[in-house]
Chain A
Amino acid sequence: MNVGQQLINGLVLASGYACVAIGWTVLLGAARLVNFAHGQLYMLGAFVAWAAMDRAGLSYWASIPVAVVAVGLLGAAMQRLMGRLMLEHNLTSLMIVTLGFGYVVQGGAARIFGGEPHQLQSPLARGSIRMGELWLSGQDLLVFAVTAILFTLVWFALERTRVGATVRAVAEDPKLAQLFGIDASLVYLGVFVFESATVAFAATVVAPHSPILTSMGFDEVILTFVVVVLGGVGSVLGTLVASLGLGLFTAFFGALVSPAYTTAAAFAVVLAVLVLRPGGFAAK
């Protein structure tokens, strides 16, 4: 086993998990809302980008804003439909409604894009960077850079700006926020659009790693849910640490034992961690 290469593989995997998870982290942690259609929004982001390239002839780079805007608008529509459930923090209903919405998105996508696998082609996926025996693709580097920038910006916005304080205030008590002159439904709209747009963005940079299918939503983000919970719900830094841990674990377990059992093994680790630390890594 090449330890250095597995370290790189682990870091690349970790960046992918974290990049897909950031929207959920903000949604669940800062706004204390859930969206179980997250996986399907990821799938849709990848397919909108693919369609923009394959059917509209756009470049990979031009397809990214198309996917971000399209899925962001869908997120806005979802928020408007579920506005009241959010204001009342009715999480059980939100869970069921968003789960159902995810299946509607999946069915709609299958109807539009078909059931065949496709490949989201990125010009960076072909080139590779070699350092002796170690290598990574340009796409890996892009995922790594995008994740680092996204996490820095989100952490700064949440912890150091008035907008971030407003989001955290609404998360703590949306009713009280109204008395501060804050339009809580507008904040929820912003957070939902952020979540949808970032998962679409994540899809455009992460999905070129493997073929895309309209049925991939839940499978693709199951480990995202894991890192959000493992990191301590809502903790931006916790999500980053959990992604790193899970990415490295998956890479080394795959190399040492078998890639076929990595998901099962990862869940076993998650169970063990949550039994010992029910609040995740970020728990005080």
Chain B
Amino acid sequence: MTAVLACRGLTARYGGSTALSDVTLEVPAGAMVGVVGANGAGKSTLVNALAGWSRGRPDISGEVRLGGATLDGVSAHERARRGLVLVPEGKGIFHELTVEENLALVRAPEDSAGRHVFDRDEVLGLFPRLGERLRHRGGALSGGERQMLALGRALLAAPRVLMLDEPSIGLAPRLVLDLLVSVRGLVDRGLPVLLVEQNVRAALEVVDRVFLLERGRVVGQGTAAAMRDDPRIVEAYLGALVR
């Protein structure tokens, strides 16, 4: 399978400390790839570096390619316009804008080649709750509704690849699986997804491939089925007794 999104030797440094070291990764067309690891392993740094985005000021090196074209020197907003769409961890919507305004901020590209286009009706069909809350401000939504809105606006951007950073944070366990199953449904329609998830058990249920990060390095990778039996994953995330 061809890689829609790929990075090679991706490294991120904050001052003297290295948050991400020499990461090479691919997201194939139509696949869902998971990145798992402990807190501070560099998962968010990885997706942020791919998106060319950060709230801090890291030094990034290495190569990122989207659809075969290099993104070297391409700004975060331009990467989003080209279809590399990130839903960041935590705050992914504007709290002072209404649901309607959050959704209307995103404009679909004129050239939709290679993009997965979703219109407003489709998004509201996927998340009917948003349709009932169109005039509410983002800050007045529940955690689950905010995540739906963040995902909804990401779909309206007609992603080539969708990157989700810890979408399960703050959600009830039942909602987590519902959300991930919804995302899996999008993948089955052809949308490639890169999922960063601390809830390894839930992630393994839906992804095709998994990358295991430790201290900023990829220390293991494979299919979800194979990684389910990886002793490092079993011991650290699934519990040794489960075997």
The reply on B120 being an interface residue by CB < 8 A is no
Contact A178 B105 (CB under 8 A): no
**Interface bracket on B:** 20 to 34
With a cutoff of 8 Å between Cβ atoms, the chain A residues found around residue B97 in the complex are 165, 168-169, 172
The reply on B81 being an interface residue by CB < 8 A is yes
| Residues 174-208 of A contacting B (Cβ, < 8 Å) | 175-184
C-alpha gap A180/B86 in the complex (Å) = 9
The reply on A40 being an interface residue by CB < 8 A is no
**Among B55, B75, B80, which residue has its beta carbon within 8 angstroms of that of A180?**
B80
Q: Could you give, for residues 59-86 of chain B, a 1 whenever the CB lies within 8 Å of some chain A CB and a 0 otherwise?
A: 0000000000000000111101100011
The reply on B8 being an interface residue by CB < 8 A is no
| Given A168-B96, A168-B97, A169-B94, residue A181 in contact with residue B106 (CB < 8 A) | yes
C-alpha gap A178/B77 in the complex (Å) = 4
Contact A179 B76 (CB under 8 A): yes
Min distance, Cβ A164 to any Cβ of chain B, angstroms = 9
With a cutoff of 8 Å between Cβ atoms, the chain A residues found around residue B78 in the complex are 181, 183
Min distance, Cβ A24 to any Cβ of chain B, angstroms = 20
C-alpha gap A177/B53 in the complex (Å) = 11
With a cutoff of 8 Å between Cβ atoms, the chain B residues found around residue A172 in the complex are 94-97
Contact A182 B105 (CB under 8 A): yes
**Among B76, B94, B96, B107, which residue has its beta carbon within 8 angstroms of that of A178?**
B76
| Given A181-B81, A183-B77, residue A176 in contact with residue B105 (CB < 8 A) | no
| Given A178-B76, A178-B77, residue A165 in contact with residue B105 (CB < 8 A) | yes
Min distance, Cβ A188 to any Cβ of chain B, angstroms = 13
Say whether chain A's binding surface is mostly helix, strand, loop, or mixed.
helix
**Interface bracket on A:** 10 to 19
C-alpha gap A182/B102 in the complex (Å) = 12
Contact B88 A179 (CB under 8 A): yes
**Least CB separation from B85: chain A residue:** A179
Contact B104 A178 (CB under 8 A): no
Contact A182 B94 (CB under 8 A): no
Contact A178 B75 (CB under 8 A): yes
| Given A176-B94, A178-B75, A178-B77, residue A162 in contact with residue B104 (CB < 8 A) | yes
C-alpha gap A182/B80 in the complex (Å) = 9
C-alpha gap A166/B53 in the complex (Å) = 19
Min distance, Cβ B211 to any Cβ of chain A, angstroms = 22
Interchain Cβ contacts within 8 Å, total number:
62
With a cutoff of 8 Å between Cβ atoms, the chain B residues found around residue A175 in the complex are 53, 55
| Given A168-B96, A172-B96, A175-B55, residue A180 in contact with residue B76 (CB < 8 A) | no
C-alpha gap A12/B101 in the complex (Å) = 36
C-alpha gap A182/B96 in the complex (Å) = 17
Q: Could you give, for residues 135-172 of chain B, a 1 whenever the CB lies within 8 Å of some chain A CB and a 0 otherwise?
A: 00000000000000000010001000000000000000
C-alpha gap A135/B216 in the complex (Å) = 75
The reply on B129 being an interface residue by CB < 8 A is no
C-alpha gap A182/B94 in the complex (Å) = 13
With a cutoff of 8 Å between Cβ atoms, the chain B residues found around residue A173 in the complex are 91, 94
**Among A176, A181, A182, which residue has its beta carbon within 8 angstroms of that of B92?**
A176
Min distance, Cβ B5 to any Cβ of chain A, angstroms = 16
Chain A CB within 10 Å, residue with most, of B53, B91, B94 = B94
| Given A172-B95, A176-B92, A178-B77, residue A165 in contact with residue B86 (CB < 8 A) | no
C-alpha gap A162/B107 in the complex (Å) = 10
With a cutoff of 8 Å between Cβ atoms, the chain A residues found around residue B75 in the complex are 178, 183
Contact A178 B101 (CB under 8 A): no
Contact A181 B107 (CB under 8 A): yes
Contact A179 B51 (CB under 8 A): yes
With a cutoff of 8 Å between Cβ atoms, the chain B residues found around residue A179 in the complex are 51, 53, 76-77, 80, 85-88, 92
With a cutoff of 8 Å between Cβ atoms, the chain B residues found around residue A181 in the complex are 77-78, 80-81, 106-107, 157
**Among B51, B55, B91, B105, which residue has its beta carbon within 8 angstroms of that of A169?**
B105
Contact B101 A165 (CB under 8 A): yes
| Given A162-B104, A175-B55, residue A180 in contact with residue B95 (CB < 8 A) | no
**Least CB separation from B109: chain A residue:** A181
C-alpha gap A181/B92 in the complex (Å) = 13
With a cutoff of 8 Å between Cβ atoms, the chain B residues found around residue A183 in the complex are 75, 77-78
**Least CB separation from B105: chain A residue:** A180
Chain B CB within 10 Å, residue with most, of A176, A180, A182, A184 = A180
Q: Could you give, for residues 97-125 of chain B, a 1 whenever the CB lies within 8 Å of some chain A CB and a 0 otherwise?
A: 10001001111000000000000000000
